Amino acid sequence: MITLDQAFEIAYSKVRVTDLETIDFMQSIGRILAEDVFADADMPPFNKSAMDGYACRSNDLGLELSVVEVIPAGYSPTQKIQAGQCSKIMTGAQVPEGADTVFMVEHSVETASGKVRFNGSATNSNICRKGEDLKKGDLVLSAGTCLKPQHIAMLAAVGFTSPKVYVNPRIGIISTGSELVNPEIKPGISQIRNSNGPQLASQASVHGFPVNYYGIVPDDKQLTTELIQKSVEESDVTVLSGGVSVGDFDFVPEIIRELGFEIHFNKISIKPGQHTTFASKGNKYIIGLPGNPVSSFIQFEVFVLPFLQRLTNYILPEIRLLLPMAHDFIRKKTDREECLPVLLTRENEVRMVEYHGSAHIHAYNYAFGYISVEAGKTEIKKGEQVYVRPL
């Protein structure tokens, strides 16, 4: 049995990064940028007013000024500001030549028709200078960036509307087990509803990966072989839940080998999710997860998701919050690293969620995230700092 770190080392060594494609930037949210992006112009492209007010010479502050024009946003000034003059200006509008200050409308008083005076005690220039945010040619976004809404705004701002990104791998989802029925069916005796399939499909979809959802396959070797083969042909990564343990009907590893895949490992020293299988053949991958709902859920978050991201040349950042425990915690079995659901109190302390084991997916309905307790560690004291990974 290998550690989680060893599992990552093996899996990452088999990664073949996906191809590139050029897409519309409005469709690129969540995608991994495959090229650097540079500013095509200074930002701002001109000296612009930071507020509604009056543009004038700073030396004339406090004097009665003649308003020579009104400058709305989107219009170029036509008048150069001379001594004793100002222009009424709107937020975002170009500051006229000769002006070096904009004083707020709220700090002005009209002294006569077409004349105003600054009546404040002091003012900043209130001018956003040309190129103060970006200079033409500046690096805006680096290759490898996972595009978020703020990045979409930047792509728009520099006119980079057709970015080159990595193709997201297509994920095939299969649930194995004759005991499973679809969620809309009332289970009979010895049957349970299939929650793993919809769960895994949702976990992949929420991160932007396209999904082929194949539903349930019973414990029949021929049918299982046919469905796995179909997924391999139509998907880049096939993710199965169930059938990878050591029971009489757990023949998925045998099928994987018969399909020409090399199994690189089939156990990880982690709880839940010990019976996790990883296999590859060229640029196709099969990941077998245990059938218990928590095992499949956690192993997707812990192992599958970082691997999928590596296929798009992206290293998923590990977010861990260092917070104190709200109470003492003791566990009996310490042979493996264990992931356990937690919530946060109003005091920003960590409290364990009631958890009955790897079939208790309901526990995660209330969890903010989970903590990982290292192998051999029996107790966590109240006030001890632990790392929480949000979900």
**Lowest-pLDDT range, 2-11, 140-149, 330-339, 342-351?**
330-339
Question: What's the length of the chain?
Answer: 391
Using CA atoms, how far apart are residues 389 and 303, in angstroms rounded to an integer?
Answer: 14
Q: Give the homologous superfamily in CATH for domain 321-390.
A: MoeA, C-terminal, domain IV (2.40.340.10)
Q: What share of the chain has pLDDT > 70, as a percent?
A: 98
Give the CATH class of 48-128: mainly beta
pLDDT tens digit sequence for 318-377: 899 999 999 999 998 899 999 999 999 999 999 999 888 887 788 898 899 999 999 999
Question: φ, ψ for residue 361 (rounded to 5)?
Answer: -65, -25
Report the candidate in 246, 209, 244 with the shortest Cα–Cα distance to residue 228.
244
Name the average pLDDT for the chain: 94
CA 304 vs CA 161, 207, 310: distances in Å: 31, 12, 10
Question: Could you check whether the bond before residue 341 is cis, i.e. omega within 30 degrees of 0?
Answer: no
The DSSP bridge partners found for residue 240 are 174, 288
d(CA 379, CA 11): 32
Q: Which amino acid is at 119?
A: N
Q: What is the pLDDT of residues 206-260, one digit of tens each?
A: 999 999 999 999 999 999 999 999 999 999 999 999 876 655 447 888 999 999 9
**Cβ contacts of 379 within 8 Å, gap of 6 or more:** 328, 329, 330, 331
CA pair distance 97, 79, nearest whole angstrom: 8
CATH of 20-40+141-166, picked from 3.90.105.10, 3.40.47.10, 3.40.50.80, 3.40.50.300, is 3.90.105.10
* CB 137 within 8 Å of CB 38: yes
Beta strand 53-56 pairing with 37-38: unpaired
Measured CA to CA, the distance from residue 24 to residue 22 in angstroms comes to 7
DSSP 8-state class, residue 315 = -
**SS3 label, residue 378:** coil
On the question of pLDDT at 100 being above 60, the answer is yes
Domains 48-128 and 321-390 alike in fold: no
Query: How do the domains of the chain map onto residue ranges?
Result: 4-16+168-311, 20-40+141-166, 48-128, 321-390
Taking residues 141-167, report their average pLDDT. 97
Give the separation between CA 325 and CA 252, rounded to whole angstroms: 41
Cα–Cα dist 199/239, whole Å: 12
CATH among 3.40.50.720, 1.10.260.40, 3.40.980.10, 3.40.50.450 for 4-16+168-311 = 3.40.980.10
Which among 345, 332, 33 has a CA at the least distance from the CA of 168?
33
The pTM score is 0.87
Q: What is the mean pLDDT of residues 48-58?
A: 97
Whether 316 has a pLDDT exceeding 90, the answer reads no
- Amino acid letter, 169: P
HSE (side-chain half, CA atoms, 13 Å) at 52:
4
Q: How confident is the model at residue 163 (pLDDT cuts 50, 70, 90)?
A: very high
